[in-house]
Structure 1
């Protein structure tokens, strides 16, 4: 019985388009981080229906597959007798237990080696690669979408490589590594190409449509066998595994109808995918535009008005991971601009805090406890990116902290060690520690202590907002990755460090900091001068506490919203999987 796929799509359109999962990628939110799982499941369903004979109706007038297979077998025997094909070792016949489903009338199961010529690649030495000759196809040179155009290598061609020459209508398959089992049908060969070792080339015999066999290989009928094989052999499949793949073969005319139908339905999936991404892009742009009105508000009244406009559509705006992440970034930016909580005219102004810190700093220098620093210049108007609220002051970190200090302790003292991987990205600056002897970590690592502010200085850790206020350190001291800048505050006020953590995680700080990074691609670093001297807005000490508290409150709400969203998406994915299983069964 065939399945009406268009009806299946339209009746469950929301399910196919709304079932989404997050990809594991670095960087901030974008559509590149979203996988349209529902549409992926729909593609898998279409392939499953195709290879089980449920996509197009059978025609009793079609010549059965058994006749086609007899001709293929006779042609192979003739090639063997003529010395054009090596005789293959016969594999045991397919038992009833091995047949994955009851085949439709006119269909027949075969093992892949019965309908193809399967070869491994040539063991090229990378030292012999050249700029001219035949292109060498390695595992890294293709995926299930096609041949890649970057990092091409070539090798001088000779008659020795003739058996490894890539031909049209050949399926390439990775036999080892993390992508073992990936396959791609090469329909056309535009240049001389040869296949490298651990890449299988599967040349489908005449009379069969390679597109149909390629579709079978992408389904669980074959992929499950690959997964079982690679799990027991450390991500490897053998030539014997590939030769033994069980392939359902329909009549030749039905193959043509199936492949034609596959093209139609996959094009429909492409349209759904494109429309979904376009809708997500449009949604993201609307969210960004509305959130921007908050940070661009000129006064409290305008901010309140803009917030009301956004709040009226809250349920429809914040429905994706991107939108929730954008809301969090806006909250941080509003916080450090003085627009998140109300100012209290009774608060001691930040100028008084700066006076006390300056006096404490002078006293520490006179006592020889810290070194006298080269004075940083006053902050010019050109450096001020926005107007400050009443009671706030512009400040440089170097005015109120010692940058990249050192710790001093006996070698036998226990201390904490913090590698970069143990520093989180969240606004709270979570970090994990390991306990070690100070003597083992005092050299060759960055030093910090409880209450110090640390920020990753290397790409992409800086852009990904890896930073922390260190606390809970063994004996109050620690050391760790050299890719940190550290600020040790003159004033022991804990809220100051927590507020400044929000500042260095704010979008504006990260954007300016990224533009100031120096070095080559992949090794760019944030200069110490930027960390020490970039101006930031300093609120009164009491307001710092209110800001930190409010950010924590709002982020908890965002996290709850995100958890609810993820739960909904998981349900959508489960429903999509259940629908696929129901239709295929």
Structure 2
């Protein structure tokens, strides 16, 4: 899936009411449409817009997909007014004067929204032209292919601008103009426009035909939220696009590539902003050192050998000043693998103590297909997994897969192919899990395997891995942002 396909998927989700949740307190589209009709009738009465031609009733057979109950289907012509522009020749454009927009510039210069024009005309010509005002939506009526016909942008500038020919202005709509733009540029609307456009070499579409297109209308507040969500996602799509052009051969690995990009941004402190009031990772590390010292004093864990200082050569990338590079062992009370009881599979039974193996450990959690059990007598204290642990596969083809143990988990044993990572401060586990499954740590895991036979990752090597540590409050914000974005990667690939 390329970046345009990804954007199209986002827009299609948006117009189907699947991008944001519906909220009862925001009212219904029917209420909005009643206001629009009253406003339109008044504008016609005041002779500010012309009365449009009657549009056919919407039939059940025409409706292309289901929309939320609070939404309504309408024809484009029922919303505001469509006004065709006046001809502005290329030879009439000057370097400085009164702002204007020509239809070809929608294809070459403007995308989605704009505030300033690149073209100008004399006052005499400006006065003769139809105008575009703040919040109006401009669409092309002529083009070179049916896919791009009636491409839409909204004007967000303050000055009135002149509108050239072969384009139309959608005004007095009382809608969020960016919702209209995203709708017109959505795959559904593009399909409608393709069916209505005429011509082979030069493609045309008219206002009358545009007016017949069925449009799903959400309540106004939901329109604002849809637009905000799209605007939030688009920068990530742009970043993906840059990576995609360089790594086109990896197309089929999407959404995994997108996930990697998101996680890498997170590792480098570029996914959310830093906030001074959230403190520093140094303060957090001091608390962990104190807690770990208390655990040692209480005899709950053994004192470890001092960890080597982190050198400049080890640091793979820059992180924010409030962050800190730490060795994984410094924030853990346990890093160690399990063991398989003597007898191997022959000691498995139908019930008893849950026995987890690498086949049960996945990045999205534990899976219990083909689960094994062992007897109470075979329980090994060093192999016991408890709630809120992190499990990491350390051998074989699944090396690097990492799972969070659920909060309501009782206990289990693990075999020698799985490592237990138990943090001093359990609130760090969500961040550490994302660090481990990031491309940065996954590559380190592959790099430190022993020999060409890939004998696996040892506890000693894992303990010395360095990881970036943000302040805890920022960790929580990063984790929340990752959890918000990653589902889109999985969802969009299915669209």
TM-score for both structures, normalised by structure 2: 0.49
Larger CA Rg, structure 1 vs 2 = 1
- Decide which structure has greater helix share: 1
TM-score for both structures, normalised by structure 1: 0.42
